[in-house]
A and B are shown apart, each in its own frame.
Chain A
């Protein structure tokens, strides 16, 4: 099976702190990691390759330093990496990101594209469906379990829903997005890390991609971020010591009654 896994380098959001004075994010010293949902996608692709043979291509769009997550995915067991990197790609919204990825992937021969459900910085979960549409393949989003038919022409997946899950079957090629529960991503071992550096690694810029510049990055984005600001701080949050249980609870119940919450 030929599998493509688009991944993203993201800041470790749990370590991002706010600068209380300016209300902006402090990014210094915040490590960049592979988006955790994308690790599930990489692991799923490697497991499918181990079971059915084939090739796993890892692709990312991002600045030069995003190379690190491609190398990690190769160390986990990906076969080749593609790095779409160019200042022209910067400022892309989800559509322009999906479009740029699709410009490369559509020229490939693939059976399956596996994305992470969403990136933990933007949390949109939109690039997967948008990419599926641009590639003209069906999508199964929020997948917890994957089975490939014996003839390797169909896929059956457990898709998480608001009430539980549904079992969905599709003909390949298709695109899946991976969610928690699909697998436990492996850690790259020393052998993997050493081998990663020998694996095919392709860098692609806007020119080699051969796409009109006005369809890329900020220019190609239908949506525009007009403003970014810190959320309203919860002010006057009351904190009481629970040592005197009765008093603390009394105060809480009065608070809830006053707010009309109970």
Chain B
């Protein structure tokens, strides 16, 4: 029995139904009843119960083995030989976690002709950089990278391994975790070390409607993917020094069961990636006509921002899929996000609600986007944008 409810002890305070996010607790006479088909054992009811009538029995583990695991690792993804910006963010956050644990930060780079990134990662906080360089790793493949990561992890026993939640990171991390028989937490937006030296992984769920705190009590390493742009890279410290270890991992072509025949870029020349931009100017249905996109583009150019679109306008082909923000597109976390003529359906909010600052302009005062924004203007984007562009220009010119 994993879940125990002591009806006699229960005082009928009705606090537990109010904290259940899963609709699993109902009033039953003067007490409550539980629908175990809905329960996810999150423990919210157990925590709030003032009389300890609810008990979730969790497995106990021999934690002595966990002491064999040390150090924080960050997987630093490269793309066509270039370090992805999330690598620097991971190194910064990994540094903070390593400091909290009093352990080392190790950056791992896998690829071909990528050695020169070692210094960058040391300057960003790594104590050690592990380099796996071979032409077999020139293109990302799940098989080759999984073999490389698991053969690095197994003998070295890191306690934490972080991946960027990019397309490849989200493909690789769960595969590595499954091969090692450990857990993996996707798309984290917060990481910290608790009193028991465990990694507390925070992530949004239900389209951003709830935040879940997830731990990995009994297995190591603790593996997470981390949303790009959530952690801001620190200023590099060029005086830092560190160790570089080159590890030779030979992979035979038969071990790689997928073959990349062709890579097709849909990135439009001069169009910044929404995932890596500090500022995004995103348009929705309210933009009305593809020709009108010139206006948000003008604002974006002024602010060195990326141009984004909501699902409807990307579906109409007005912007390429690489620029789509939302659940079925990209998840972004810029410093500043403009939502222009976007109503703010939950699928859209799921992709951008963790932005630092959200500015919404929409004609409809009831649009849900306004309840998620820091600054909203109820009005017509076609009259407001030109004015906004000229005002921002003035501010920038005056600098």
A interface residues, Cβ below 8 angstroms from B = 11, 13-14, 16, 18-19, 21-22, 24-25, 27-28, 63-65, 87, 90-91, 93-95, 98, 120-126, 128-130, 132-134, 137-142, 156, 160-171, 174, 179-181, 214, 217-219, 221-231, 234, 237-243, 245-246, 248-250, 252-253, 255-257, 259, 261-262
Contact of A63 among B37, B187, B205 (CB under 8 A): B37
Is residue B396 within 8 Å, beta carbon to beta carbon, of the partner chain? Answer: yes
Measured CA separation A139–B256 after assembly (Å)? 11
Is residue B112 within 8 Å, beta carbon to beta carbon, of the partner chain? Answer: no
Q: Given A18-B209, A225-B212 in contact, is the A138-B187 Cβ separation under 8 Å?
A: no
B interface residues, tally (CB under 8 Å) = 113
Which 10 residue pairs of A and B lie closest in terms of their CB atoms, listed nearest first? A242-B379, A222-B183, A63-B37, A164-B266, A27-B23, A223-B183, A133-B178, A124-B186, A138-B257, A91-B41
Is residue B387 within 8 Å, beta carbon to beta carbon, of the partner chain? Answer: yes
* A-contacting residues, B311-357, CB 8 Å: 321-322, 327-329, 335-336, 345-347, 350, 353, 356-357
Instruction: Return chain A residues, CB-CB under 8 Å to B365.
Output: 239
Is residue B13 within 8 Å, beta carbon to beta carbon, of the partner chain? Answer: no
Q: Are B41 and A16 in contact (CB-based, < 8 A)?
A: no
Measured CA separation A120–B347 after assembly (Å)? 9
Instruction: Return chain B residues, CB-CB under 8 Å to A167.
Output: 260-264
Q: Are A163 and B373 in contact (CB-based, < 8 A)?
A: no
Measured CA separation A94–B183 after assembly (Å)? 8
Is residue B242 within 8 Å, beta carbon to beta carbon, of the partner chain? Answer: no
Instruction: Return chain B residues, CB-CB under 8 Å to A122.
Output: 186, 205
Is residue B101 within 8 Å, beta carbon to beta carbon, of the partner chain? Answer: no
Q: Are A165 and B210 in contact (CB-based, < 8 A)?
A: no
Of the candidate stretches B64-72, B165-173, B243-251, B289-297, the one touching chain A is B165-173
Of the candidate stretches B14-22, B128-136, B230-238, the one touching chain A is B14-22
Instruction: Return chain A residues, CB-CB under 8 Å to B374.
Output: 234, 237-238, 255
B interface residues, Cβ below 8 angstroms from A = 2, 18-23, 36-44, 47, 58-59, 79, 139, 142-143, 146, 166-168, 170-175, 177-179, 181-187, 200-201, 204-219, 257-267, 273, 275, 279, 303, 321-322, 327-329, 335-336, 345-347, 350, 353, 356-359, 361, 365, 370-380, 383-384, 387-388, 391-392, 395-396
Q: Are B167 and A142 in contact (CB-based, < 8 A)?
A: yes
Closest A residue to B139 by beta carbon equals A166
Q: Are A237 and B370 in contact (CB-based, < 8 A)?
A: yes
Instruction: Return chain B residues, CB-CB under 8 Å to A250.
Output: 391
Beyond A239-B373, A255-B374: 14 further Cβ-contacts under 8 Å? A94-B183, A95-B177, A95-B178, A123-B204, A130-B175, A139-B175, A162-B168, A229-B211, A239-B365, A239-B375, A246-B387, A249-B388, A262-B392, A262-B396
Measured CA separation A224–B40 after assembly (Å)? 10
Instruction: Return chain B residues, CB-CB under 8 Å to A24.
Output: 18-21
Instruction: Return chain A residues, CB-CB under 8 Å to B328.
Output: 179-180
State the main secondary structure of chain A at its contact with B.
mixed
Q: Are B143 and A168 in contact (CB-based, < 8 A)?
A: no
Instruction: Return chain B residues, CB-CB under 8 Å to A87.
Output: 36-37
Q: Are A226 and B200 in contact (CB-based, < 8 A)?
A: yes
Instruction: Return chain B residues, CB-CB under 8 Å to A231.
Output: 204, 208-211, 353
Q: Are A214 and B171 in contact (CB-based, < 8 A)?
A: no
Q: Are B214 and A223 in contact (CB-based, < 8 A)?
A: yes
Measured CA separation A93–B207 after assembly (Å)? 18
Q: Given A64-B37, A124-B186, A253-B392 in contact, is the A27-B257 Cβ separation under 8 Å?
A: no
Q: Are B186 and A238 in contact (CB-based, < 8 A)?
A: no
Measured CA separation A25–B353 after assembly (Å)? 17
Instruction: Return chain B residues, CB-CB under 8 Å to A217.
Output: 2
Instruction: Return chain A residues, CB-CB under 8 Å to B336.
Output: 256, 261-262
Q: How far in angstroms is the closest Cβ of chain A from B33?
A: 15
**Central interface residue in A132, A164, A261, by most chain B CB within 10 Å:** A261
Q: Given A13-B206, A227-B42, A242-B384 in contact, is the A237-B373 Cβ separation under 8 Å?
A: yes
Measured CA separation A223–B374 after assembly (Å)? 34
A-B contact pairs, 30 of them (CB 8 A): A13-B207, A16-B346, A21-B18, A22-B18, A24-B19, A27-B23, A63-B37, A94-B184, A121-B206, A123-B350, A129-B142, A129-B178, A130-B177, A133-B178, A156-B261, A160-B321, A163-B263, A170-B258, A179-B328, A180-B328, A222-B218, A223-B214, A225-B213, A226-B42, A234-B372, A239-B365, A249-B384, A249-B388, A253-B395, A261-B335
Instruction: Return chain B residues, CB-CB under 8 Å to A169.
Output: 258-259, 261
Q: Are B39 and A253 in contact (CB-based, < 8 A)?
A: no
Q: Given A168-B258, A225-B212 in contact, is the A249-B391 Cβ separation under 8 Å?
A: yes
Measured CA separation A64–B201 after assembly (Å)? 31
Q: How far in angstroms is the closest Cβ of chain B from A96?
A: 9
Q: Given A16-B207, A27-B22 in contact, is the A234-B373 Cβ separation under 8 Å?
A: yes
Contact of A228 among B44, B201, B279, B380 (CB under 8 A): B44
Q: Given A91-B40, A163-B322 in contact, is the A237-B261 Cβ separation under 8 Å?
A: no
